[in-house]
Amino acid sequence: MSPSFLFPQTQSTVLPDPSTYFSPNLLSSPLPTNSFFQNFVIPNGTQPEYFHPYHIQASNSSLSASYPFLFFTAAVLYQVFVPDLTISASQTTSYGQNRVISSYSDLGVTLDIPSSNLRFFLVRGSPFITASVTKPTSLSIKTVHTILSLSSYDGNTKFIIQLNNTQTWLIYTSSPIYLNHVPSEVTSKPFSGIIRIAALPDSNPSNVATLDKFSSCYPVSGDAALSKPFRLEYKWQKKRSGDLLMLAHPLHAKLLSRDCNVTVLHDFKYRSVDGDLVGVVGDSWVLETDPIPVTWHSKKGINKESFGEIVSALYKDVKGLNSSATTTNSSYFYGKLVGRAARLALIAEEVSYYKVIPKIRKFLKETIEPWLDGTFKGNGFLYERKWRGLVTEQGSTDSTADFGFGIYNDHHFHLGYFLYGIAVLAKIDPAWGKKFKPQAYSLATDFMNLGQRYNSDYPRLRCFDLYKLHSWASGLTEFEDGRNQESTSEAVNAYYAAALMGLAYGDSRLVDTGSTLLALEIRATQTWWHVKAEDNLYEEEFAKDNRIVGILWANKRDSKLWWATAECRECRLSIQVLPLLPVTETLFSDTVYTKELVEWTLPSLKNKTNVEGWKGFTYALQGIYDKSTALKQIRRLTGFDDGNSFSNLLWWIHSR
């Protein structure tokens, strides 16, 4: 990475105080702002988080676990949190003590509940909830259901609890424990050591033997290393003897490398909102995805006979560039204007219309530079030290400004557009690129830092989730269903733009990191946002009515958007397509699915006049399988999305 540049420092008035639930030793480092355990460290801290396969809720005295049921309608799929089991000390001490995160890793978090002498190792994808009881303590395990039976085995180190809601739970301990029960609580005599609790999937007796076999060895944390391009390696820190059993979601199952020494237990499954989770035995996994070449221009190129139409559109679009006429000071909408202009430069290169490039270069310099040198009037990037990262001037005093950028919302979306413009400008004007390289890298590092070793000003991979294999957009807001992301295509743009910036600066490591995250984001989008009935991933009723997810949450799938109803199908399609780029072809490489999506959307465009921008993206996808119809439709459009242009749509159709 380039020498670090820090934007001017600010004190945010809207960010929560991280010291409430992080242990003091963690506060001197950058803290995660879009993580899988974010609900645990936001001031209220009462909402659960989903850890695959359990929904976990923490309090200052207890931890509640739910093996959630999936509810679905034609509009939404979600898991309901019910505190199936709540674990605490029978008598808690010193109520003033907060629960606290004492450590975290890519794949897990350690939660301490001092008032109950409990330390939980919450590792994602573990079929067991594991706790260390740090000194002799009488435990309480309460349930909202009725306990039908409690049976003990193996010299009081294994117990089976049957509840009246059809659930069966197993408890394993590192040494004998003495348990009693009343209708909705199990209590113990003082115990210290390791306790592990697991729901029995499908209440199937053959799964008991599997849980028995892997009940000893437990994970305390897990790291995910981007060791080589298009390859991700999981390594768990584990304790006690035996083999480690973890669970893989459907995308893991597709990407598990033949090289890695693991055993997949195809018949051992937990249900999940993300599809079935299957057992995988092994201390480390290797995940490999197909390489995605990152290119400035279209893959197939454009026939010479199409140059004329694109050139005349470029002439008009470039003529309209005027930085002094820009009315927005929103980091998002401003970024889209920068990205739109940068596309014009690359299209001009592709159709050999070089004479417009100086004007585009001038526009890009005039629009990007003020954000990098702090002279932009009314907004700009600043650095805050509480959580450590970039905020905008407006976002530092208003949590709703810039779509919540100041509370770490949507960072990759906004910064991705700026990086795209910077990459193109550095390509066509290397001297400018060199001058502003430290600022450019600061924007990239805000959401793409690989860790403390590389840069200690920003947290590791702010938005990208190394277990789910896609990004989250929502930052420091407490949500009942955890983190969420709406626009996958803007996430794709962010990693694509970073890889292009790596190309512009001759930085192979940035190209590799950007390309790898890009490839994973695309695979995750195709797995969870692109709804294909034949995948059987979603319930039939939801799959029948939806061809694309609007907002995907850790714990829910929603057909609506933040800014539009589920009925606005063209809105849903467009927000998962924009901005239109060479890499869009890879994102929508499944032509059969793309045609289904377009045909599902087209009726929603009928008799609507104010949706020209959205029509453009629908016809762009139509161009993948029906170029001539799409071209006719695009030529009739009277307006375009603020990040798109007539030139860009023509470039797309003619490069099919």
- pLDDT < 50: residue spans in the chain: 1-2
Amino acid identity, position 297: H
Which helix (H) or strand (E) segment holds residue 573: the answer is helix 569-575
Q: How far is CA 193 from CA 175, 231, 240, 257, 643, in A?
A: 7, 37, 12, 36, 58
- Select from 460, 442, 458 the least CA-distant residue to 450: 460
Beta bridge partners of 140: 88, 187
Instruction: Yes or no: say if 272 and 53 are a contact pair by the CB < 8 Å rule.
Output: yes
Counting beta carbons within 10 angstroms of the beta carbon of residue 426, is it exposed (0 to 12), middle (13 to 18) or buried (19 or more)?
Answer: buried
CA 639/CA 571 separation, integer angstroms:
15
Using the structure block, give the residue that is written with the tokens 């008799």. Answer: 607
In the structure, how many helices (H) and strands (E) does the chain have? 17, 31
In degrees rounded to 5, what are phi and psi of residue 71?
A: -110, 145
Domains for the chain: give ranges and CATH numbers.
31-288 (2.70.98.30), 304-528+535-655 (1.50.10)
User: What's the number of CA atoms in the CB half-sphere (13 Å) around residue 70?
Assistant: 21
Amino acid identity, position 225: A
Q: How far is CA 145 from CA 67, 148, 614, in A?
A: 13, 9, 49
Give the per-residue pLDDT at 1.
44
Q: What dihedral angle (degrees, nearest 10) is formed by the CA atoms of 168, 170, 176, 179? A: -30
Q: Please give the angle made by the CA atoms of 478, 379 and 444, to the nearest 5 degrees.
A: 65
- Which residues are part of the catalytic machinery? 410, 486, 490
Instruction: Yes or no: say if 88 and 199 are a contact pair by the CB < 8 Å rule.
Output: no
CA 420/CA 363 separation, integer angstroms:
14
Using the structure block, give the residue that is written with the tokens 């087209």. Answer: 602
Instruction: Yes or no: say if 394 and 10 are a contact pair by the CB < 8 Å rule.
Output: no
Give the per-residue pLDDT at 534.
85
The residue length of the chain stands at 656
> Could you write out the DSSP letters of every residue in 199-225?
E-GGG-THHHHHHHHTSS-EEEEEEEE
Give the per-residue pLDDT at 97.
81
CA 405/CA 408 separation, integer angstroms:
5
The structure tokens listed for 332 are: 């998002």
Which helix (H) or strand (E) segment holds residue 309: the answer is helix 307-319
Which helix (H) or strand (E) segment holds residue 491: the answer is helix 488-505
CA 578/CA 481 separation, integer angstroms:
26
Burial 217-247 (b: 16+ CB within 10 A, else e): bbbbbbbbbbeebbbbbbbbbbeeeeebbbb
Q: Is the peptide bond before 190 cis (omega within 30 degrees of 0)?
A: no
Give the per-residue pLDDT at 95.
64
Which helix (H) or strand (E) segment holds residue 413: the answer is helix 411-428
